[in-house]
Structure 1
Amino acid sequence: MRTYLALSAATAVLAGAGATAYATTADTAASGPARPLAGMRILISNDDSMQAAKASNSDGLGLYELRRAMCAAGADVVVMAPWQVQSGKGTAVTNGGVLTAQRRTALPAGYEGDCAQAPSAGAVYGVCLSAGPCAKDSPSATPADTVKLALRAGLRAKAGWTEAPDLVLTGINSGPNVSAGVNDSGTVGAAVAAVDQGVPALAFSSSGDESQLNFPRVNYRAHAEFGARLVAGLRQRGLLTPKFALKVDYPDVSAGAPAKAPVWTRVGDGAVVYHAFEQRGDGDSFDIALGLCPPAGGGEGECAEGRADADSTWLLGKGHVTIAPITWDRTYGSPVDARRELNRIEHFVKHESPRP
């Protein structure tokens, strides 16, 4: 949190999916509802890229739903996201080379006008590791790269923001980020990069359908609209803090069952997805595969969950929205230096937060 604030004080810088038609920000504004995020500047990133081209909706569609909801609530939004899918990158950063932030002009169908009335028009940038224009096969910046770039130079250069944004949002991820998988999550890693720079952050992740191979638009949309109300509630109460990030996971609602009320949780100590390795014959090579634990818990070994308030239990086993605080400080046993803020946010989630 430290580097960004030091830079700010010293230099005052930083300052397809289907073709279904959806309501735009302009449409929403015309109908005259309250715009609770008016005046806020929000940076959005993710780890799924900004491509939104796969039929499974696993490569960034959730980002556009999040952008849509925040602009509809009145925020000024800029997106800087990885050029390629970077799932599983955690807090990884790139230590050399050149990053290019290339603006996307042709947005996915149905999302073109969502931020037309916002000062930054919801500009979307994909960030690649290249000294020239990003090409189809260009290597990508990591999620943490995109946030660090945006906060330290990119937003000033591309959007003219001479101060830090009010908030960083990451996601909406294709699939939940719970239990041991939180350590691998680029969505969470990007949010950690934001609070490390002194900017409040929330990380959003949505469940897939029953197969966990497809990520229905309805899940993203429900989560994004809930997220806008959640951010509005936190803002109204002065609870947006850079002391820690909030991880917000949303259950599958694509089969018609509504999400249940938000629950304040801890990161589970078991696994939901784990890496499995199978040797090829007697050679030196191993195939990498992902193993799945029982979705409702009750597994053995690394799948066993020992915490009653685990995020995975309440999200996957009980169908609740789950919210957990995530800190950049990995010092075991260190005192919580934002206990008052933590207690107030926990109270808000339990008693005052919006319902799905």
Structure 2
Amino acid sequence: MRRTLALTTAAAVLAGLGATAYATTPAADRTKPASRPLAGLRILLSNDDSMRAAKASNSDGLGLYELRRAMCAAGADVVVMAPWQVQSGKGTAVTNGGVLTAQRRTALPAGYENDCAGAPSGGAVFGVCLGEGGCAPDSPSATPADTVKLALRGGLTAKVGWRGAPDLVLTGINSGPNIAASVNDSGTVGAAVAAIDQDVPAIAFSSSGDESQLYFPRENYRAHAEFGARFVAGLKERGLLTSAFALKVDYPDVSAGQRAEAPVWTRVGDGAVVYHAYEQRGSGDTFDITLGLCEGDESEGECVENRADADSTWLLGEGHVTVAPITWDRTYGTPVDARRELKAVQRYVEREAPRP
């Protein structure tokens, strides 16, 4: 069964409604990791949900701060350059002209102020807008890919003094999964693709919402972030941080106490979970942009999933963490250049990766 929803309702499935200030976690819990396996690793962090973390649904960047927290706790030096406004659905879009401003955020969301205080860069957070003279609340935003390209092509050097590229680019944690056909639209994935296009390893993280898919609990972000830090540490330890392809890591809903199942190596599904639709107003020239949800037992059309190893099946149907490789090369039938690396990462996911 397919149904379409008004944009204001269905958009919440992809990006939520937006963040209560999260309750302050005791400093000891945030800064006392058992070990620091990411010590010395420089990480650029971006997303497509912005760096605001101000909406009640937790859909506008709260996941970014949870990921920043976990990576700094594991010893990484993290710098954030993220879109000024929510940019969900922007894919790999870039801005072709004009001016970008990378403005540092000095007042961070409550509870996250000191997460990276001991890192060389202090966990600096920058929002990137279009235009000059500073970013105002209503300033138009850079796209996710813009932020990564800016950072890698001079922004990090200018703003925090990093010489050379970071060791890793992380994007997310996105509010809502990026699976199946929506991967092509995802700004979270698009930002990771922009990184590997510049030969920098990248991983895109996305988390499910609660049962309603209208609210994105901090519990999901936190579980994903802490898993993500251990996942990255395992890749680093094995020398598997590669720019030959990006990794897409999606996390199931655990907010009601359910357990996330072990990571599964998947492909991007060939069906749709959410799709765009366009409804004409009467007989005129105006069309409402709507989002449709595939529900129930679809037997035909774009909602059909034909791949047994689809990310959507294992994430939504079975509750597993799903991992899929993503490449910038859209040439159909291109041979896998890094076959040995791909097999090594697959083996790590299937046999050695941390369990949630």
Q: TM-score range by the shorter chain?
A: over 0.9
1:32 Cα shift?
Answer: 6.2
Does the CA-based 8 Å contact 1:273-1:290 persist in structure 2?
A: yes
What residue in structure 2 maps to residue 6 of structure 1?
none
What residue in structure 2 maps to residue 87 of structure 1?
88
Does the CA-based 8 Å contact 1:293-1:299 persist in structure 2?
A: no
What residue in structure 2 maps to residue 273 of structure 1?
274
How many aligned positions are there? 338
- Counterpart CA distance in 1 for 2:320 and 2:22 is 31
What residue in structure 2 maps to residue 283 of structure 1?
284
Matched, 1:49 2:47: no
- TM-score normalised over the length of structure 2: 0.93
- Counterpart CA distance in 1 for 2:111 and 2:325 is 33
Does the CA-based 8 Å contact 1:17-1:61 persist in structure 2?
A: no
Matched, 1:158 2:146: no
What residue in structure 1 maps to residue 143 of structure 2?
142
1:18 Cα shift?
Answer: 2.5
- Counterpart CA distance in 1 for 2:47 and 2:297 is 27
What residue in structure 1 maps to residue 225 of structure 2?
224
- TM-score normalised over the length of structure 1: 0.93
Look up the equivalent residue of 1:349 and give its one-letter code.
Answer: V
Larger RCO: 1 or 2 (CA < 8 Å, sep 6+): 2
Which structure 2 residues correspond to residues 253-272 of structure 1 after superposition, within 5 A? 253-272=254-273
1:318 Cα shift?
Answer: 0.5
- Counterpart CA distance in 2 for 1:293 and 1:119 is 46
Look up the equivalent residue of 1:280 and give its one-letter code.
Answer: R
- 1:204-258 CA-to-partner distances (Å, cap 9, x unmatched) read 0000111111100000000000000000000000000000000000000011101
Matched, 1:35 2:36: yes
1:297 Cα shift?
Answer: 6.6
Change (3 A) 1:217 1:137: same
Change (3 A) 1:161 1:297: farther
Unmatched segments (≥5 aa) in structure 1: 1-15
Matched, 1:353 2:353: yes
What residue in structure 2 maps to residue 320 of structure 1?
320
Matched, 1:303 2:303: yes
- Counterpart CA distance in 1 for 2:93 and 2:115 is 31
Change (3 A) 1:126 1:118: same
What residue in structure 1 maps to residue 337 of structure 2?
337
Look up the equivalent residue of 1:286 and give its one-letter code.
Answer: F
Percent of aligned pairs with the same amino acid: 79
Runs in 1 of length 4+ with deviation above 2 angstroms?
16-19, 26-29, 296-300
Change (3 A) 1:312 1:108: same
What residue in structure 1 maps to residue 21 of structure 2?
18
What residue in structure 2 maps to residue 114 of structure 1?
115
1:167 Cα shift?
Answer: 0.1
1:298 Cα shift?
Answer: 4.5
1:202 Cα shift?
Answer: 0.1
- Counterpart CA distance in 1 for 2:320 and 2:29 is 31
- Counterpart CA distance in 1 for 2:216 and 2:130 is 28
1:33 Cα shift?
Answer: 1.9
- Counterpart CA distance in 2 for 1:131 and 1:262 is 44
Unmatched segments (≥5 aa) in structure 2: 1-18
- Counterpart CA distance in 2 for 1:18 and 1:84 is 18
Does the CA-based 8 Å contact 1:17-1:109 persist in structure 2?
A: no
Change (3 A) 1:348 1:301: same
Look up the equivalent residue of 1:142 and give its one-letter code.
Answer: T
Look up the equivalent residue of 2:202 and give its one-letter code.
Answer: A
Look up the equivalent residue of 2:155 and give its one-letter code.
Answer: G
Does the CA-based 8 Å contact 1:297-1:317 persist in structure 2?
A: no
Does the CA-based 8 Å contact 2:30-2:69 persist in structure 1?
A: no
- Counterpart CA distance in 2 for 1:157 and 1:297 is 53
- Counterpart CA distance in 1 for 2:316 and 2:298 is 12
- Counterpart CA distance in 2 for 1:301 and 1:242 is 35
Does the CA-based 8 Å contact 2:33-2:74 persist in structure 1?
A: no
1:17 Cα shift?
Answer: 3.3
Change (3 A) 1:137 1:28: closer
- Counterpart CA distance in 1 for 2:74 and 2:299 is 41
- Counterpart CA distance in 1 for 2:30 and 2:258 is 26
What SS does the aligned partner of 1:243 have? coil
What SS does the aligned partner of 1:348 have? helix
Change (3 A) 1:335 1:18: same
1:131 Cα shift?
Answer: 1.2
1:28 Cα shift?
Answer: 5.0
- Counterpart CA distance in 2 for 1:320 and 1:263 is 7
1:178 Cα shift?
Answer: 0.3
What residue in structure 2 maps to residue 210 of structure 1?
211
- Counterpart CA distance in 1 for 2:323 and 2:203 is 10
- 1:145-169 CA-to-partner distances (Å, cap 9, x unmatched) read 0000000011000110011100000
What SS does the aligned partner of 1:44 have? strand
- Counterpart CA distance in 2 for 1:32 and 1:102 is 30
Change (3 A) 1:28 1:276: closer
1:300 Cα shift?
Answer: 3.3
Does the CA-based 8 Å contact 1:248-1:324 persist in structure 2?
A: yes
